[in-house]
Amino acid sequence: MMAKAAATTATPQPLRICMLAGNPLLYDGRVLRHAETLARAGHAVTLIGVLGPNDPPAEGAVLPGVPNLRVVRIDRRRAGLRPRLRWLTSALRRRLAALGTSLWGLRWPLPQLWVAPIAVELLVAALDSQADVFHANDLDTLVPAAWAAWLRSARFTYDAHELYADERPSLSPLERSARAHVEGTLIAGAAACFTVNALLADELSRRYGIAMPIVLHNVPRSVPRPPRASVTAFSVARPLRLLLHGSWVGLDQPGVDSALAALAQVPYAVLTLRGGVRDPAGLAARIAQHGLTGRVTVKPRLPGAEALVAAAIAEEHDVGLSVHLPDCESRRLATSSKIFEYLMAGLYVIAADQRGNRHILSELAEHEPVGLLFSPDDAASLADVLRQIAADPELLQRRQHAARRLAESVLCWERESERLLHCYRRLSEAGSPSIHHSARAQSSK
């Protein structure tokens, strides 16, 4: 009893946390959830994002009204001569740094800082925060977080959203080598590592010889959903309503064109595409070419996973599509965050068959089946799956109820956030000693 009383009275001190992200923040649900959760837990959080060269002006406030949270956005847009010159020099130094890091294994600060064009600006802003812990999101923020921690005798944590040494198929061997070298050099010094699923955790541990990263699934908060009405047979009058959402949903996103071709084979289905489109005219032309005019609706993206879930509920969609192609190792291992958002909205999931998607749907099937897989980039395979689920509306409704139950009980941020908070409680209890990490070790050689 005395031990229990002592444990309850020992309150860890709040930390000053500087969280770095290489994007404008507004649509990065994972980063925003983490920052808000830590701030509401009492930590003083500085959230730093970046307006990139091609980004539009900031579209709104980031997490307004959250206590203990300060938001900073670095403006790197190419407006005027000086910003354009700065952008050109940062692109050049990234090329030189990648070459030097890959060919000669340079381990000095500048080559590491130059691998990511935004690293220098992020380092300056991070040092201004005077944080106890620097929280890096993605590889382009790992370097400034690690060096800020070294310069302040503080600590840093790393959240690897993807496998950055193989993030996309267009990466050159030089870029892959430089990314792997920088990530592998610095990740071992992190006070904690996070990632989005067990497959990526295993791969990071194997590649870099680190302890198993903490898995924080990219799940939304709970969003209220009214009970579903009874389902009738699908027809042109009551079509099967499909949703495909993402940051970008145009033809330049692999898998979208196959989804349109599959829809053309299922006349009693309609599709909503929600997200950014870089070539609206090209997308409209392709929709017309497939004979889908009036059956495909394009809507703008929304800020944050919870807004997407709420819209999917309000629009009464039946099925959520995830069509990403497994065209590189990162995408083969990753689990689409769309899956978790669709489940929270009470949608049945149809996902491209790749390891990350297969892994999570198989795990969930041990509770209740909530989704099906189709052959990636195969319109006929996707059309067959759509016909299969539309053939039994009552079974589809049971699967939708199961999706919602699992989201509420297993895959919601209210539960998932405990792992993040527990990690930062441990960091707070440990104080803020000078941490020995690879950057410090290399600088002394």
Q: Which residue(s) pair with 321 in the sheet?
A: 350
35 pLDDT above the threshold of 70: yes
Element (H, E) at 51: strand 44-51
Q: What is the pLDDT of residues 216-245, one digit of tens each?
A: 999 999 999 998 877 788 888 899 999 999
- Beta strand 214-215 with 296-299: parallel, antiparallel or unpaired? unpaired
38 pLDDT above the threshold of 60: yes
CA distances in angstroms from 120 to 76, 77, 217, 250, 376, listed in the order given: 12, 15, 30, 33, 39
What was the pLDDT predicted at 258? 95
What was the pLDDT predicted at 277? 94
What was the pLDDT predicted at 174? 74
What was the pLDDT predicted at 364? 92
CATH 3.40.50.300 for the 15-219+415-443 domain, yes or no: no
Q: What is the pLDDT of residues 297-325, one digit of tens each?
A: 999 988 889 999 999 999 999 999 999 89
CA distances in angstroms from 6 to 2, 36, 41, 63, listed in the order given: 6, 29, 21, 36
Using CA atoms, how far apart are residues 31 and 352, in angstroms rounded to an integer? 25
Q: Which residue(s) pair with 372 in the sheet?
A: 350
Write down the domain spans for the chain: 15-219+415-443, 240-409
424 pLDDT above the threshold of 90: yes
Q: What is the pLDDT of residues 70-112, one digit of tens each?
A: 999 888 765 555 555 555 556 565 566 555 555 555 444 444 5
What is 2-21 written as a DSSP string? HHHHHHHH--PPPPEEEEE-
Higher pLDDT, 308 or 10: 308
Options 3.40.50.2000, 3.40.50.1370, 3.40.50.300, 3.40.50.800; CATH of 240-409: 3.40.50.2000
By mean pLDDT, which of 50-54, 131-135, 288-292 is the weakest?
50-54
Using CA atoms, how far apart are residues 398 and 319, in angstroms rounded to an integer? 13
CB 381 within 8 A of CB 374: yes
Using CA atoms, how far apart are residues 249 and 407, in angstroms rounded to an integer? 24
Q: What is the pLDDT of residues 370-414, one digit of tens each?
A: 999 999 999 999 999 999 999 999 999 999 999 999 999 999 999
For tokens 């956030």, what's the residue? Answer: 417
Q: What is the pLDDT of residues 247-266, one digit of tens each?
A: 899 999 999 999 999 999 99
- Highest mean pLDDT pick, 104-108, 187-191, 440-444: 187-191
Using CA atoms, how far apart are residues 312 and 344, in angstroms rounded to an integer? 10
For tokens 């091609």, what's the residue? Answer: 54
What was the pLDDT predicted at 212? 96
The model's pTM = 0.86
Closest CA to 326 of 169, 194, 91, 110: 169
CB 38 within 8 A of CB 424: yes
Ramachandran quadrant class, 282 (left: phi over 0; alpha: psi -120 to 50; beta: rest):
alpha
Higher pLDDT, 174 or 185: 185
The answer to whether 15-219+415-443 and 240-409 have equal CATH topology is yes
User: How many C-beta atoms lie closer than 10 Å to residue 174's C-beta?
Assistant: 14
What was the pLDDT predicted at 85? 57
Using CA atoms, how far apart are residues 319 and 308, in angstroms rounded to an integer? 14
CB 233 within 8 A of CB 395: no
